[in-house]
Amino acid sequence: MNRNILIDKSFLRGAKSDEISQLANSHKLLMTESLLYECTKEAPSERARLFRKFPDAENPYILIPSVGPLLRYEVENKIPCGKPSDFANQKDYSIHKKLICDSYQLTEDQNNKLEKNDQKSWKTLKSS
């Protein structure tokens, strides 16, 4: 069984596609929701460059919550959250194939959802 490995922004920016593909052969690639947000908000050419680094697969990465929701879980339940991969978001990532194209533009609805999530994150940070 493949082990999990968390991809962070520094690694994603600096690694070559073949390095990420090699990792994907022996590991399940995990991406935090915040990294997905950051990559999606990049200029279309940079966004495409980052997403093209992932293998051409149906679900090239597994989305996991950022640290905030995991800490909230621990505080509310008074127990360790365990493995972040236990909280994996098992969605269809078919949009990934669109994000690898320089010409793809997010719809107004998608941009609004991103901004709404960003404002929600800031409210959570400010109340901490």
In angstroms, rounded to a whole number, what is the distance separating the alpha carbons of residues 98 and 64?
21
pLDDT tens, position by position, 23-82? 999 999 999 988 988 998 899 999 999 999 998 887 888 888 888 888 999 999 999 999
Average pLDDT of span 80-88: 89
Q: Which of the two residues, 46 and 91, has the higher pLDDT score?
A: 46
pTM score over 0.85: no
In angstroms, rounded to a whole number, what is the distance separating the alpha carbons of residues 64 and 85?
6
Q: What is the pLDDT of residue 52?
A: 93
In angstroms, rounded to a whole number, what is the distance separating the alpha carbons of residues 108 and 125?
26
Q: What is the pLDDT of residue 124?
A: 43
